[in-house]
Structure 1
Amino acid sequence: MDDPSVALPGGADPAERTRELRRAHAAFTREGLVEAPVRAVIARSWRRCARARVSPECAPRLELAGAELLSYREQHPLARVLPLFRDLVGAFAAHGEHLLAVCDARGSLLWVEGEPVTMRRAEGLGFVPGARWSETAMGTNAPGTAVAVGEPVQVFGAEHFSRRVHPWTCAAAPVRDPRTGRVLGAVDVTGGDWLAHPHSLAFVRAVARAAEAQLALLDPAPRAAADTLTALGRDEALLCADGREVRLGRRHSEIMALLAHHPEGLSGDELAIALYEDESVSPVTLRAEMSRLRGLLGSRAPLSRPYRPAAPLEADFTAVTRHLASGAVSAALARYPGPLLPASTAPGVVRLRRRIEDQARAAVIARADAGLLADWVCGPWGADDPEVWRALAAALPPGDRPAALARARSLDAELGGRSGDVPAPAGRPRTTPPSPRPPSLALPRPLPLPVAPPSRGRATYRQPARP
């Protein structure tokens, strides 16, 4: 059986596969149809590109240059393992007329090195240091897709979303901070068809692991305590920075939560899109908010170009998601006092809030532990969730089930959903009506949203009116 992570199966003719992929690419960009032989990892990436409205004729944008680029990459954590990349990949790239590239977690290229003729071709393409090659900027490509999915990726020819990149093949693997597991960027090899071989994918994966091992050796010294952001169950977050506690206003709470979730940084456009429901908001509005935040936080205010935390920032919701990812559901719920900034309507915060709640809810249902399920339905966010009530009934002894089942039936009747005694399978969508949103963001609606009193930061909760 062919390995789906490999772009060119053994024995496949590169020329014929190129023709097939170009036909499939044309069908997708014309009609939105995914045809054989497009691999699943590529099909998912193409769909993300389509949702992000990336054009198949897109060209890269240079974000950093000159002294600003030099300063940024000198401070980047991957600068410390650049000699290792050069030792392991440099000779391989030069010998095979390929390129070594390193990008940050946003898909911006930091270093591009290799054989001179190939370098000149890459420069004509815009594959140069300082250029943005994220999926949202350049569509499917190995370094951009690797940091988007957090997995090694190989992209062959017309699997690239941008037509101008169809003559190239690349393989990339993400590099993570060995202490936190956060993606720092990716190491990439770019060149000709030969890179579609399984060995190139295994090679960049091994190089990434070697880089992580070296980072672990280079960073044994204790670091200064991180700033902390408390934003779960609160409409106004608390920031503990440099030994002082600051209560943030609504908009500043949203900004710091988004930057805590994106420690690699966000451009002004990205942050504005995540903050404002009205896409026509002037950039001046965001700059004014950041100016006020600088006045409030001083040296701990976010840095710019891109906007990012000035110091390591640990948020309570990242601790919850780490516990969930490791299967520590009880520990996660112990640190979950309520939804993230529950009164916020900022699009980026709404998406993050729903993602965290849905992850926690799915983990609780999958664990099928009566105590955890009871804790969930006793919280205002779970009190009106019939699926969890059914899961609780299934986890209880037979004699204790009637009350939970009766509550589930009552909610079904009120919400117009399903009825019956059979517990819902884990991961099934809720029966509450979804909030209006684009198809690409269609997630279950959170239940119910907390309402904060005007005089305090912590939210109180109010049951929604019955239909």
Structure 2
Amino acid sequence: MIAASWLRSLRHGVDPDVGRPARPLSTDQIVTRRQGSPLAELMPVVREGLRAVLEDERHVLLVTDAQGWVLWQEGSRQLRRSAERLELAEGAYWGEESAGTNGIAAALATRRPERVHAEEHYVTALRTLDCAAAPLHDPRDGRLLGVVNVTSPASLAHPSTLALVTAITRVAEGELRARHWESVNRLRSIAAPVLARLDGAALAVDASGWPAAATGMVPPDRVPLPRSPQAGTVWLPSLGSCTMEPLPGGWLVRVGTQGPTAPSRVVLDVTGARSWTVTVGGAVGSWSHELSPRHTELLLVLALHPDGRSAAQLAQDLFGDPRRVVTVRAEMSRLRRTVGGVLAHRPYRFADNVSVEVLRPDHPADLLPASTAPAVLAARRDWVGA
């Protein structure tokens, strides 16, 4: 991970002596981003969980958004002043293309907890520091919300800091999950009398597509909704043609209504370094879904092999081990619940009536930069040689 990050930092033109500082956010911009972020309501959880660490004058807490902008900086006053001289300040940008290899950038790239210690930093001025960072995801849709990072002098760093930061992000995600299910329960009580009066299959879902109640059917785990849902007839993955009607806190979805046909176009956007989407379009519009790293890899492999792949081939493509078919089948099952209408199986492939377009980044090395899947590594090499 460190070596690949250094290569990307070099290619981004980051100067090891001074970095490549981005213009910091203004105070108004920081406030605006805080107000629009679910992280704001989780900061009390993060502060309380890391209180013992922050009372130690050797540590600084940085919380960034999903792009890498620092929205909160906390810790001892003395160390905060020292940290600000290194751009460890509110409003600073800590993406890899600006600050090189660092804990925040590493966690953003891999979406996993990462520790970057001393000489592993790309920028010389940061090599006296230790960074322990963990990503924080929205449990409703898996979306990356930001990163929680604790920085300390490298000489005083403790190896357990990363485990603590990771545990706190899990607690914060659990808080979001609990609040989400409270809202789902409220929607269930609202929807129950409505569903009781309906004939046929119908369900109530929240704004993220999570079912609250259903009648005449077994609801899917989650319904991918259009990005900007509106009342009317729409085609939904795993449900087909449906009619959507607004409910307080969600939508009433009536299944099996006459309307649009199955989708005919898929656009897989892998241009980003940290977020990727699939957009499915048809006669009546389109909907988009943000993908996890693993599901992005799967769809990319299927796009590169239009004739399809067996479970063993996908296991080799993703893990370098054709025996891991159980893992592949489980992932494909989850993926088909999201985009099932455009996928076929035996072998796994995109459906015959679907056209597929892959939007790629400008440089081969930026194709899923944190992925180590053999198929992705091969795609980068083939792209260079094309």
TM over 0.5: yes
Residues 194-205 of structure 1: pairs in structure 2 closer than 5 A: 194=155, 196-205=157-166
Counterpart in the other structure of 2:194: none
1:54 matches 2:35? no
- Helix, strand or coil: the match of 1:61? coil
Residues 183-262 of structure 1: pairs in structure 2 closer than 5 A: 183-194=144-155, 196-219=157-180, 220-222=182-184, 225=207, 241-243=229-231
Q: Which amino acid aligns with 2:12?
A: A
Residues 171-182 of structure 1: pairs in structure 2 closer than 5 A: 171-182=132-143
Q: How far did residue 218 of structure 1 move?
A: 2.3
Residues 37-48 of structure 1: pairs in structure 2 closer than 5 A: 41-48=1-8
CA distance in 1, matches of 2:85, 2:293: 45
C-alpha change, 1:122 and 1:218, in structure 2 (3 Å) is same
Gaps of 5+ in 2: 185-204, 210-225, 235-266, 277-285, 316-324, 330-343, 356-372
Q: Residues 95-116 of structure 1, C-alpha deviation per residue, up to 9 Å, x if partnerless?
A: 1421011011111111011111
Q: Percent identity, aligned pairs only?
A: 28
Q: Residues 390-433 of structure 1, C-alpha deviation per residue, up to 9 Å, x if partnerless?
A: xxxxxxxxxxxxxxxxxxxxxxxxxxxxxxxxxxxx956999xx
C-alpha change, 1:323 and 1:372, in structure 2 (3 Å) is farther
TM-score, length of structure 2 as denominator length: 0.56
Q: How far did residue 442 of structure 1 move?
A: 3.1
CA distance in 2, matches of 1:441, 1:184: 33
Q: Which amino acid aligns with 1:242?
A: Q
Q: 1:116 aligns with which of 77, 99, 115?
A: 77
Q: How far did residue 146 of structure 1 move?
A: 0.6
Q: How far did residue 136 of structure 1 move?
A: 1.7
CA distance in 1, matches of 2:354, 2:377: 13
**Contact persistence 1:324–1:359 (CA under 8 A):** no
C-alpha change, 1:440 and 1:69, in structure 2 (3 Å) is farther
Counterpart in the other structure of 2:314: 366
Counterpart in the other structure of 1:23: none
Q: How far did residue 323 of structure 1 move?
A: 11
CA distance in 2, matches of 1:85, 1:58: 29
How many residue pairs match? The answer is 263
Q: How far did residue 257 of structure 1 move?
A: 7.7
**Contact persistence 1:98–1:114 (CA under 8 A):** yes
Counterpart in the other structure of 2:249: none
Q: Residues 73-114 of structure 1, C-alpha deviation per residue, up to 9 Å, x if partnerless?
A: 122111111011111213312314210110111111110111
C-alpha change, 1:215 and 1:322, in structure 2 (3 Å) is same
CA distance in 2, matches of 1:325, 1:151: 16
TM-score, length of structure 1 as denominator length: 0.47
Q: Which has the larger radius of gyration?
A: 1
C-alpha change, 1:61 and 1:366, in structure 2 (3 Å) is closer
Q: How far did residue 149 of structure 1 move?
A: 0.7
Q: How far did residue 375 of structure 1 move?
A: 6.5
C-alpha change, 1:195 and 1:140, in structure 2 (3 Å) is farther
C-alpha change, 1:428 and 1:104, in structure 2 (3 Å) is closer
Q: Which structure carries more strand by proportion?
A: 2
Gaps of 5+ in 1: 1-40, 228-237, 247-255, 266-312, 333-353, 383-425, 446-467
**Contact persistence 2:302–2:309 (CA under 8 A):** no
Q: Which amino acid aligns with 1:45?
A: S
Q: How far did residue 180 of structure 1 move?
A: 1.6
CA distance in 1, matches of 2:44, 2:90: 17
CA distance in 2, matches of 1:154, 1:215: 25
C-alpha change, 1:173 and 1:198, in structure 2 (3 Å) is same
C-alpha change, 1:359 and 1:205, in structure 2 (3 Å) is farther
CA distance in 2, matches of 1:44, 1:244: 48
CA distance in 1, matches of 2:275, 2:349: 33
CA distance in 1, matches of 2:82, 2:293: 46
